[in-house]
Amino acid sequence: MSIAESFLAEIDQEAATTKRVLERVPGDKLSWKPHEKSMSLGQLALHTATIPGAIVGFVTPDRFELPSSGESPEPETSGELVPALENSVATAKEYLGGLDDEVALSNWTLTKGNQVLMAVPRIGVVRSFMLNHWYHHRGQLSVYLRLLDVPVPSIYGPSADENPFA
The sign one gets for the Cα dihedral 95, 101, 103, 109 is positive
Q: 120 — phi, psi (to 5°)?
A: -140, 165
Tell me, yes or no, whether 161 lies in a domain. Answer: no
Please report which confidence band the pLDDT of residue 100 belongs to, taking 50, 70 and 90 as the band edges. very high
pLDDT, position 5: 86
- How far is it between the farthest Cα atoms of the chain? 55
Q: What is the mean pLDDT of residues 142-166?
A: 95
Determine the 3-state secondary structure of 67 from DSSP. Answer: coil
Residue 102 lies in a domain: yes
Contacts of residue 142, defined as CB under 8 A and 6 or more positions apart, other chains included, come to 21, 152, 153, 155, 159
pLDDT at position 2: 85
pLDDT at 43: 97
Mean pLDDT over the full length of the chain: 94
Q: What is the pLDDT of residue 60?
A: 94
Torsion of CA 8, 10, 16, 18, to 10 degrees: -110
Kindly write down the DSSP assignment for every residue of 32-61, as one continuous string.
Answer: --SSTTSPPHHHHHHHHHHHHHHHHHHHSS
pLDDT computed for residue 106 by the predictor: 96
Number of domains in the chain: 1
Residue 40 lies in a domain: yes
The H or E element that residue 139 is part of is: helix 133-147
Domain of residue 58, residue span: 4-147
What pLDDT sits at residue 67?
83
Rounded distance between C-alpha atoms, residue 44 and residue 24, angstroms: 13
Q: What is the pLDDT of residue 4?
A: 87
Q: Is the pLDDT of residue 71 over 80?
A: no
End-to-end CA distance of the chain: 36
Element (H, E) at 79: none
CATH number, position 125:
1.20.120.450
**pLDDT per position as a tens digit, 14-43:** 999 999 999 999 999 999 999 999 999 999
31 and 40 Cβ atoms separated by less than 8 Å: yes
Q: Is residue 155 part of a domain?
A: no
In a domain, 130, yes or no: yes
What is the C-alpha separation between 155 and 139, in angstroms, rounded? 9
* Domain-embedded: residue 13: yes
The beta strands (E) that lie in the chain are given as 63-65, 107-112, 115-121
Residue 165 lies in a domain: no
Q: What is the pLDDT of residue 53?
A: 95
Interval 101-144: pLDDT, tens: 999 999 999 999 999 999 999 999 999 988 999 999 999 999 99
pLDDT at res. 66: 87
Establish if 163 belongs to a structural domain: no
